[in-house]
Amino acid sequence: MFTSAIRLVATASVLAASAFVAHAENPMVGGAPMYAEKNIVENAVNSKDHTTLVAAVKAAGLVKTLEGKGPFTVFAPTNAAFDALPAGTVDTLLKPENKDKLAKVLTCHVVAADAMSAAITEMIKKDGGEHDVKTVGGCVLKAREDGGKLMLTDETGGTATVTIADVKQSNGVIHVIDKVLLPKG
């Protein structure tokens, strides 16, 4: 009986440690743990720093897509990034009549690949310091590295910095960014 209890405690400890290690691989985002076995939407809804992005994804009708198999790389702007847009921009984009424009903005943050930061950095080096990143929305972002940080420049010349890289998802990866990337025109 005593041996069985020790084995049970040992097994529980190993399982708890395994769960901790599995979750410790991913950084916390918006005060919430990010689980590699969950998809992009399942994780994003738990981040207090991404409530605007989640609302926008819902308004644009992109939930099913980002819950899909992927793989996707999502450059995920924070609430502060959306707040930095000109006054009224977010409210205007969230209106039903602007669904297509909102979807275009959001899909310019999505790449149809599982691109970890090391892979992006390698592509930047191979391309002589700047790499074109083609998004699902048809935008071309310019990726470069500056002072050890991954930077993305959108088609309007705005530049976002990756503030949290390599948040693994079951269907890809999220890189948190500090600016909303915009398509031209």
Give per-residue pLDDT as tens, 97-152. Answer: 999 999 999 999 999 999 999 999 999 999 999 999 999 999 999 999 999 999 99
- Looking at the chain, the whole-number percentage of residues with pLDDT higher than 90 is 84
Question: What percent of the chain is predicted at pLDDT more than 70?
Answer: 87
pLDDT at 185: 73
185 assigned to some structural domain: no
How confident is the model over 75-88, as pLDDT tens digits? 999 999 999 999 99
Over range 27-53, report the average pLDDT.
Answer: 94
CATH number at residue 167: 2.30.180.10
Quick check: is 87 in a domain? Answer: yes
Check: pTM over 0.75? Answer yes or no: yes
Map tokens 């420049």 to a residue: 153
Query: Is residue 183 in some structural domain?
Result: no
27 within some domain: yes
Domain around 43: 2-177
Count: domains in the chain: 1
pLDDT in tens, 42-70: 999 999 999 999 999 999 999 999 999 99
Reported as a pLDDT band with limits 50, 70 and 90, residue 25 is: confident
Residue 182 covered by a domain: no
176: CB partners within 8 A, 6+ apart: 29, 49, 76, 78, 162, 163, 164, 165, 167
Tokens matching residue 79: 């609430």
Helices (H) and strands (E) in the chain, counts: 8, 7
Contact by Cβ (8 Å): 148, 22 = no
184: in domain: no
DSSP 156-172: TS-EEEEEEEEEEETTE
